[in-house]
Each structure stands twice: as C-alpha cells, then as structure tokens.
C-alpha cells in the first residue's frame, strides 16, 4: 500500500507544478493585461514558498522508499492551506477559482480512507468559510459589480470561472483517475500475493505428505525388488515381463531417492546441468515408465548447449505433463524441445480421442480435477512449480483433430 501512496504523492506533486504555473500566469495576466490591483509582494511570497515545498517533496520522493497514508494526508492539507492563502490575497470567497477546494477532496476520496477524506472535507470547508470573515477585496471579482450590466469585470469573473472549471476537470480526469488506478493495481498485487501465499502453504502441506509417503514406500519397494531378483535368477517363462517389472521398480526407487535428495537442496547448493543432457535424461525416464508407448522426440540442436540452473521441482512437473500425454494417447505422442539464450520451450502433442477437457484449465487448488479418477494434485503441483520458476503452461485443443498441444515455456538462468 505504501508504494502506491508514494506514486500518488508523485502525481500530487505534478498537480502542484501545474497549479503553480497557472497561478503565476494568472498573476501576470491580471496585473498587466486586466490591470487588477493585487498584493504582488504577498502573492509572490506565497507562490515562491509553494515552489519550495514542491522542491522539498521531489527530494523526499527520490530518497524515500515508502510514503505513509498519514503523510500523504498532510500534503493534501498543505495544499488546502496554500490555496487559501492565495485566495485570501485575491478576492477571497468572490474569487472564481474558489470551487477548486473540491479538487483536494476528490484526491482524498480517490486515494485515502474515509477518516482522512472527512478530515480533508472539513479542512476545506473551514478554509472556505474563513474567506467570508476577512480577505483582500478585489472589485473585479465582487458580485455587486455584475448586476444589471455587462462589464469588463463581469467578463473577467466569467473567464475565471471557465478557467477554474478547465483546470479542475483536467486535474480530476487525468491525475485523480491515475491515483485511483494505482491503488487498484496495488490491491490486485496484494490479492495475488495472498493467493501465492496460500498456494505455498498448500505446497508445503503436500510436500510434507510426499516426504512421509516416500519413506513408507521404501520398504515395500525393497521387498518387491528382492522377490523380483529371485524370480529373475530362476528359470521363468515370463522373463520379459519380469524385466519390465524390475525396471519399473528401479524407476520407483530412483524417484523416491530423488524426492528425498530434492528436499536437501538449498539455495546455496544449486545444481547446474546442460540442457541437452537434462532433457535426454528426463525423456528417457518417461519412456521407461511407458515402455509400450510410441513416442516421437525432437531435441533441437540449433542453439549451443548451455549449462543452466533447473529448479528441482521442474523435472517432476514436466514428467507429470508427459505422463498425462502418454496416458491420453499411448499409441502416439510427439515431443519437441527448443531453446534460445533466454527461454526453453517444450511442445507435447498427444492424439487422445477421449475426454481431455480436464486439460483445458489447470487446477488452482489441489484435489480439484475434471480428469476421470484423478485428484488434481499432479496438475496443481505442476502449475505451481512452473509458475514459481517464472514459466507458463498453455494447453490448446484442436477443432478438427483429436488430442491437444501442451506448450511449456521456462526461463533459463545461468547465475
């Protein structure tokens, strides 16, 4: 919120520059063109003091990281006081620019909470009322000079009212709306942060569950491996099936070991891998999990191979998308991998003729999935991991063809 307040104070300072320039221009025109007698010395002092305030605030903005809402409110009050001083020296309540008091109220209403807005309104009302008690009278602005005849004074008052409306309209239209827009952007960012925080909490819970499950699965997998090894050594007519079962068990054990190792990787212990080797290893693991699948894999070699950092959660996320494609169309899956200096792109094309509507929208919460028999945990973790890494996932369907195309884009980091 404080960042948005700082941006709004910057906009307010721009308004001050516009108003200060308009006041100096009006002072020159009234004095030399309309020959209105004004307290030039006092008015010049007030305007110069206002210019000093603008300069100080500009320096303050360049040094401060954040501005509080109360500080912004005090700046609104300062503007009201300066405007009152200018009106006091130029006709008081009869000055056609007196309705400009509404502008600070609009600024407060669009950027501050209710209590500050009420404070700005009461301050403006008190300042406006004080002008009826005492002010420097200017006959050209006095209403009694406008009754019954059309004079230069009448024209001056009408012109002043028109100029006031023009300036007020510009300030409210361009600056107040931008201030309100800044607050909306800030609120959107806060909501996004809360959503990410909730997602991270869900990820922590799922991660803890996965770690416990890994330890629980270790013992039965080891038992299965021992039994399969004994059967494999014997004279079995199911040797091919036993070999497949053996490779599947080894893959499960390797996955569990990687899961435990991933939890031990810290920010200061990053692992860097070449893109080609990383993707080949990942795709080989995927093919082992689906030995009956017919896969067409294209690994682009147009770009020079690079050693980059891959977050430990990327591999299981990509593997989950590949598994979904293999389950949707085991008869054929096309995979294409390309990269440049900044981006890694992975295209996964499946030809499943079943219901793939679950793929059209990635779940934002775990345990919510349209996929038959699925709980949505895999897709949720995939979406969360890719997003945290700075990547995107796009899933497109085809009107005249079966299947879908999944596009994963990942930024490449080498530091």
The domain that contains 298 carries what CATH number? 3.30.565.10
Would 248 be classed as within a structural domain?
Answer: no
DSSP 3-state assignment of 394?
strand
239-264 vs 275-289: helix axis angle to the nearest 10? Answer: 130
Q: Please state, in angstroms and rounded to a whole number, the distance separating the CA atoms of residues 122 and 26.
A: 28
- Residues 284 and 148 reside in one and the same domain: no
Would 12 be classed as within a structural domain?
Answer: yes
Q: Which of 174, 193, 212 is the last residue of a domain?
A: 193
Q: What average pLDDT does the segment 158-170 reach? A: 67
Would 43 be classed as within a structural domain?
Answer: yes
Weakest-pLDDT range from 23-37, 234-248, 385-399 = 234-248
Q: Which residue has the higher pLDDT, 215 or 336?
A: 336
Q: How many CA atoms are closer than 13 Å to the CA of 335, on its beta-carbon side?
A: 26
DSSP secondary structure letter of residue 351:
-
As given in the structure block, the two tokens for residue 322 are: 């590949």
- Residues 301 and 399 reside in one and the same domain: yes
Q: What average pLDDT does the segment 77-92 reach? A: 91
Residue for token digits 């959660």?
A: 313
Point out which residues pair with 274 in neighbouring strands. Answer: 307
Q: Which residue has the higher pLDDT, 292 or 161?
A: 292
Task: Please state the separation of Cα 102 from the chain's center in Å.
Answer: 33
Summarised one tens digit per residue, pLDDT across range 321-360 is 998 888 888 888 999 999 988 899 999 999 886 544 444 4
- Residues 154 and 18 reside in one and the same domain: yes
Long-range contacts of 103-110 (CB under 8 A, 24+ apart): 103/168, 103/171, 103/172, 103/176, 104/76, 104/79, 104/80, 106/172, 106/176, 107/12, 107/15, 107/76, 107/175, 107/176, 107/179, 108/73, 108/76, 110/176, 110/177, 110/179, 110/180, 110/183
Q: Which of 53-62, 277-286, 288-297, 370-379 has the highest mean pLDDT?
A: 53-62
Q: Which of 193, 216, 236 is the last residue of a domain?
A: 193
Radius of gyration of the chain, Cα coordinates, nearest whole angstrom: 35
- Residues 176 and 277 reside in one and the same domain: no
Would 407 be classed as within a structural domain?
Answer: yes
Q: Quick check: 311 and 373 in contact, CB under 8 A?
A: no
Q: Which of 151, 168, 193 is the last residue of a domain?
A: 193
Would 18 be classed as within a structural domain?
Answer: yes
Per the document, the length of the chain is 415
The total number of structural domains in the chain stands at 2
- Residues 189 and 273 reside in one and the same domain: no
Q: Is the pLDDT of residue 233 over 80?
A: no
As given in the structure block, the two tokens for residue 186 are: 């800030």
- Residues 8 and 137 reside in one and the same domain: yes
- Which pTM was predicted? 0.49
pLDDT above 70 covers what percent of the chain? 73
- Residues 157 and 26 reside in one and the same domain: yes
Q: What average pLDDT does the segment 299-325 reach? A: 83
Q: Quick check: 180 and 111 in contact, CB under 8 A?
A: yes
C-alpha separations of 148 from 24, 33, 145, 151, 154 in Å: 32, 25, 9, 10, 10
Closest C-alpha to 31, from 44, 46, 13, 18: 44
What pLDDT score was predicted for residue 360? 47
Would 208 be classed as within a structural domain?
Answer: no
Q: Please state, in angstroms and rounded to a whole number, the distance separating the CA atoms of residues 182 and 180.
A: 5
What pLDDT score was predicted for residue 212? 53
Q: Please report, to the nearest 10 degrees, the dihedral formed by the alpha carbons of residues 302, 308, 312, 317 taken in order.
A: -20
- Residues 189 and 294 reside in one and the same domain: no
C-alpha separations of 294 from 77, 142, 351, 400 in Å: 73, 92, 11, 23
Q: Quick check: 111 and 183 in contact, CB under 8 A?
A: yes
Burial 275-308 (b: 16+ CB within 10 A, else e): bbebbeebbebbeebbeebebeeeeeeeeeebeb
- Residues 276 and 365 reside in one and the same domain: yes
Residue span of the structural domain in which 277 resides: 269-411
Q: Sign of torsion, CA 83 85 88 93?
A: positive
Residue 227: which pLDDT band, with cuts at 50, 70 and 90?
Answer: confident
Question: DSSP string covering 2-69, please?
Answer: HHHHHHHHHHHHHHHHHHHHHHHHHHHIIIIIS-----HHHHHHHHHHHHHHHHHHHHHHHH-S---H
Q: Please state, in angstroms and rounded to a whole number, the distance separating the CA atoms of residues 161 and 143.
A: 13
H/E element, 369 = none
Q: Please state, in angstroms and rounded to a whole number, the distance separating the CA atoms of residues 55 and 131.
A: 28
- Residues 187 and 88 reside in one and the same domain: yes
- Residues 158 and 278 reside in one and the same domain: no
Closest C-alpha to 297, from 337, 324, 325: 337
Would 229 be classed as within a structural domain?
Answer: no
Would 221 be classed as within a structural domain?
Answer: no
pLDDT above 90 covers what percent of the chain? 20
């Amino acid at each position: 919120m404080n960042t948005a307040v700082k941006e709004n104070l910057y906009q307010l300072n721009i308004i001050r520059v516009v108003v200060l320039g308009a006041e100096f221009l009006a002072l020159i025109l009234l004095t030399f063109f309309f020959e209105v007698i004004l307290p030039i010395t006092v008015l010049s002092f007030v305007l110069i003091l206002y210019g000093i305030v603008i300069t100080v605030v500009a320096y303050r903005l360049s040094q401060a990281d954040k501005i509080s809402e109360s500080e912004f409110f005090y700046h609104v009050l300062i503007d009201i006081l300066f405007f009152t001083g200018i009106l006091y020296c130029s006709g008081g309540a009869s000055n056609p620019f007196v309705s400009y008091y509404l502008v600070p109220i609009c600024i407060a209403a669009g950027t501050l909470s209710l209590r500050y807005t009420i404070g700005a309104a009461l301050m403006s009302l008190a300042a406006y009322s004080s002008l009826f008690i005492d002010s420097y009278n200017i006959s050209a602005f006095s209403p009694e000079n406008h009754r019954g005849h059309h004079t230069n004074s009448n024209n001056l008052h009408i012109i002043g009212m028109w100029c006031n409306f023009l300036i007020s309209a510009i300030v409210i239209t361009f600056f107040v709306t931008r201030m309100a827009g800044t607050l909306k952007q800030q609120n959107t960012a806060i909501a996004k942060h809360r959503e990410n925080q909730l997602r991270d909490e869900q990820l922590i819970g799922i991660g803890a569950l996965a770690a416990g499950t890994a330890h629980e699965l270790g013992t039965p997998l080891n038992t299965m491996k021992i039994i399969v090894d004994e059967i494999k050594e014997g004279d079995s007519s199911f040797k091919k099936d036993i070999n497949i079962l053996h490779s599947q068990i080894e893959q499960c054990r390797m996955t569990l070991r990687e899961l435990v190792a991933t939890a031990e990787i810290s920010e200061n212990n990053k692992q860097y891998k070449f893109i080609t080797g990383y993707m080949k290893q990942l795709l080989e693991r995927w093919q082992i999990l689906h030995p009956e699948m017919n896969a067409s894999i294209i690994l682009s070699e147009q770009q020079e191979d690079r050693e980059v950092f891959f977050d430990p959660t990327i591999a299981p996320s990509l593997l989950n998308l590949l598994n979904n494609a293999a389950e949707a169309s085991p008869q054929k899956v096309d995979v294409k991998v390309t990269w440049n200096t900044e981006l890694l792109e992975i295209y996964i094309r499946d030809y499943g003729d079943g219901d793939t509507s679950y793929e059209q929208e990635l779940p934002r919460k775990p345990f919510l999935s349209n996929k038959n028999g699925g709980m949505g945990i895999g897709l949720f973790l995939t979406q969360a991991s890719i997003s945290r890494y700075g990547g995107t996932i796009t899933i497109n369907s085809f009107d005249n063809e079966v299947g879908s195309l999944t596009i994963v884009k990942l930024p490449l980091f080498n530091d």
